[in-house]
Amino acid sequence: MDKKEPVIQLRHVTVSHDGHPALEDISLTIFKGDLLGIIGPNGGGKTTLLKVILGLATPLQGQVEVFGGPPARNRHRIGYVPQYAEFDPDFPISVEDVVTMGCLKYRRLNKKKMPVCVEKSREVMERMGIWKLRKRKIGGLSGGEKQRVLIARALAMAPEILLLDEPTASVDSHLQATVYDLLLELNQTLTICLVSHDIGVISAYVRTLACLNRRLFYHGEKELTNEILMKTYRCPVQLIAHGVPHRVLKEHG
């Protein structure tokens, strides 16, 4: 894939929530085939940035283009995996039902298109290794299994871009590598942008990094400096290496 082809462009974007700045003067370009990791502290605007890309948050200032047009017009080309998706364990919705929700664009309430939707759902469930779970209630799955279901739902719409908000937040530490390995596989055909607090793990998998705390303090290769992290987190940060890039936030008050 040609990474030089821009698929998402933000130019001097400012967003406010209830009069308080959430994003300030953000200029960011995401290229086709990239696997971009966005890091930064809580309340730094990471989720807001994803909503801007999806056309769910309107900037006060600046321009946003997705595939050269308005985000809302091209939203159907983006798969989104939100943060903290919880399910009532007693709610009677199956894995298959959840995944099928993702391919509404194939259905458009047209019964003739249902076979296409069913086939696409099966395809992504098999790809995500959850076909055998299709009849189970999603509320009874483990964190890792739920995350695979949510990614499958996003993939069911056959997106060209995949946005993920904290994809390993509900996953045990020993399963995090599995999720990231899966994203590396998906990145062979998809442009991926993910938000994460885990500097150590994310830096070993992504191609490029963006450091965001209302302002964009860095966007480029995944090698970071103490100076960049100090500006982003506004607190002491310790960088540790163990053979592969590994970065850990220093404990602080």
Mean pLDDT by 10 residues, the chain (253 residues): 80 92 96 94 93 95 96 92 77 91 66 74 91 93 87 92 88 77 92 86 84 91 77 68 43 45
The radius of gyration of the chain from alpha carbons, rounded to an integer in Å, stands at: 19
Identify residue 97 by its one-letter amino acid code. D
- Quote the pLDDT of residue 116: 76
- Quote the pLDDT of residue 113: 62
- Quote the pLDDT of residue 212: 94
Q: How many CB atoms lie within 10 A of CB 19?
A: 5
For the record, the structure tokens of 43 come out as: 């309340």
Q: What is the SS3 assignment for the chain?
A: CCCCCEEEEEEEEEEEECCEEEEEEEEEEEECCCEEEEECCCCCCHHHHHHHHHCCCCCCEEEEEECCECHHHHHHHEEEECCCCCCCCCCCCEHHHHHHHCCHHHHCCCHHHHHHHHHHHHHHHHHCCCHHHCCCEHHHCCHHHHHHHHHHHHHCCCCCEEEEECCCCCCCHHHHHHHHHHHHHHCCCCEEEEECCCHHHHCCCCCEEEEEECEEEEEEECCCCHHHHHHHHCCCCEEEEECEEEEECCCCC
**Domains along the sequence of the chain with CATH:** 6-86+161-248 (3.40.50.300)
185-235: pLDDT as tens digits: 999 999 999 998 777 667 788 999 999 999 998 888 877 777 787 788 777
Place of tokens 């790809």: 127
- Quote the pLDDT of residue 85: 65
